Amino acid sequence: MEKYYLAVDIGASSGRHILGTVQDGKIVLEEIYRFENSMKQEDGHLSWDVESLFAEIKEGLKQCKKLDKIPVSMGIDTWAVDFVLLDENNKILGRAAGYRDGRTSGMDEKVYEIISQNDLYKRTGIQKQIFNTIYQLMAVKEKEPELLKRAESFLMIPDYFNFLLTGEKKQEYTNATTTQLVSPVTENWDYELIRMLSYPEKLFGPLSMPGTNAGQFTEEIIKEVGFSCTVVLPATHDTGSAVMAVPKVPDKEGEEDDILYISSGTWSLMGTELLAADCSKESMEANFTNEGGYDYRYRYLKNIMGLWMIQSVKKELAGRGEHYSFAELCDLASKETIPSLVDCNDSSFLAPESMIKAVVNFCRNKKQPVPKSAGEIAAVIYNSLAVCYKETAEELESITGKTYSDLHVVGGGSNAAYLNKLTAKQTGKTVYAGPGEATAIGNLLAQMIASGEFKDLKSARESVYRSFAVKEYKPL
């Protein structure tokens, strides 16, 4: 009888339920349910419809029952930084605000009135991004202080869904580190920092590692979905799960400790793994982050705007009646010779009303040729991403003192063959592309390791390489 594990992987634009089994040492996946997700406008703010998302989680569980494929465990991962505050009756206070909401504007300066940016990085090692939880909480404190006063619980989005399933409130470590409120020294909440910022200390409880048993379905959930199940914490931050699934390439010495990767999706998260956080001034100035990973490894990486830009352009073109697949946009881009480049991390690309206009205006302001066609717009974006990857790799090698011959691209962006070719050319590194479902696979790996299917992360990564198609792109 097959032993099933269920990964519920929810991204900023969609979610899916993927069943995993281990057969002859290989991981076999089956997607059984998929649903849409996006931020909603609510009273002038961007927020997540968590009620709808939880209903979709349950629908996917019901699909397991219909297929008679009942998982022995399940895990949920989502994007980072966003959270809910719950009152004494476990009801959400305010809204489940989205990270692209403008409420954090100016909140960095409010934080720096209490602790300088330099000192904050020394304490946490986390890259400054205006949507980090530390600034979101400051926005609540400044603009809706009554909510913070009434709050009895603080849960990151996947922690909240786990609570709805089990009735247990657990705060998972990898996602907690993205709040910029966790110490890489103690690997726990930085309570002194929390007190300095006047955030209620009671909101920050014990942290739980990936692999932790988060509880069983409540009777109410069992009645609704038709079965019982153990909820196991994966790395609930989707990038943490994706990095777990970076494959171990055979005959690559040092591969386990010296990997260079891009978790490529809406965001491009590019970095390596460290056994200790680098909170140096050089690291801060290069804008690298030290996010917590599986087994207390550190995901030393930089957030790059990523495929959000091309996703936005594709959607905008469709609104004009120009319908292209991502493969078609790649093909169009490959035929263009426009030399213009944009800074993919420029704030103008975070949430523009028109991504096309944002790209055009950036090129015009920099006195570069202005892209006109869909192919030229796509070419500018893809070429700019590849150059950004090259520069980031050079920074990483300078800071770590290591040279990386290979670059792993995992996640949805691993399917963008044109971008992979550009990346190999720009970086001068062999690009290993795949698996595409890295986040769901990493989610499953945490469950499988906890269950004894694999003895450790190394053996799990070896199985990933054996199990999935990994394409190789040599630098030209």
Give the Cα separation of 352 and 374 in Å (integer). Answer: 18
Q: 374-400 and 308-319 helices cross at what angle (nearest 10)?
A: 170
Tens digits of residue pLDDT in 272-283: 999 999 999 999
Q: At residue 298, does pLDDT exceed 90?
A: yes
The length of the chain is 476
What's at 107, amino acid-wise?
A: M
Q: Look up residue 342 and give its DSSP letter.
A: -
Q: At residue 16, does pLDDT exceed 60?
A: yes
The reported pLDDT for the residue numbered 75 is 98
Give the Cα separation of 156 and 47 in Å (integer). Answer: 14
pLDDT band at 65 (very low <50, low <70, confident <90, very high): very high
The reported pLDDT for the residue numbered 214 is 98
pTM, two decimals, is 0.91
In the chain, pLDDT over 90 holds for what percent of residues?
93
Domain 4-232 identical in fold to domain 237-476: yes
**Contact at 8 Å (CB) between 139 and 153?**
no
Residue written as token pair 């890489």: 184
Average confidence (pLDDT) over 70-79: 98
**Contact at 8 Å (CB) between 359 and 342?**
yes
What's at 281, amino acid-wise?
A: K
More confident residue, 305 or 457: 457
The class (CATH top level) of 4-232 is alpha beta
Q: At residue 256, does pLDDT exceed 90?
A: no
CB atoms within 10 A of CB 200: 17
pLDDT band at 1 (very low <50, low <70, confident <90, very high): confident
**Residue 45, strand partner residues:** 42
What tokens appear for 92 in the block? 């959400």
More confident residue, 10 or 248: 10
pLDDT band at 265 (very low <50, low <70, confident <90, very high): confident
Cα 456 to chain centroid distance, Å, stands at: 23
The reported pLDDT for the residue numbered 266 is 84
The reported pLDDT for the residue numbered 250 is 80
Q: At residue 22, does pLDDT exceed 60?
A: yes
pLDDT band at 254 (very low <50, low <70, confident <90, very high): low
Q: In the annotation, is 295 catalytic?
A: no
Give the Cα separation of 180 and 201 in Å (integer). Answer: 15
Q: Please tell me whether the peptide bond between 435 and the residue prior to it is cis, using omega within 30 degrees of 0.
A: yes
Element (H, E) at 82: none
| Mean pLDDT estimate for the chain | 95
Average confidence (pLDDT) over 358-386: 98
Q: At residue 340, does pLDDT exceed 80?
A: yes
Give the Cα separation of 215 and 448 in Å (integer). Answer: 16
What tokens appear for 218 in the block? 């409540």
**Contact at 8 Å (CB) between 27 and 20?**
yes
The reported pLDDT for the residue numbered 238 is 94
> Domain limits of the chain?
4-232, 237-476
Tens digits of residue pLDDT in 98-114: 998 999 999 999 999 99
Residue written as token pair 């309570």: 191
Catalytic residue, chosen from 9, 190, 238, 278, is 238
- Its sign, for the CA torsion 179, 184, 188, 190, is negative
Task: List the CATH code of the domain at 237-476.
Answer: 3.30.420.40
Q: At residue 348, does pLDDT exceed 60?
A: yes
Tens digits of residue pLDDT in 204-216: 999 999 999 999 9
The reported pLDDT for the residue numbered 253 is 57
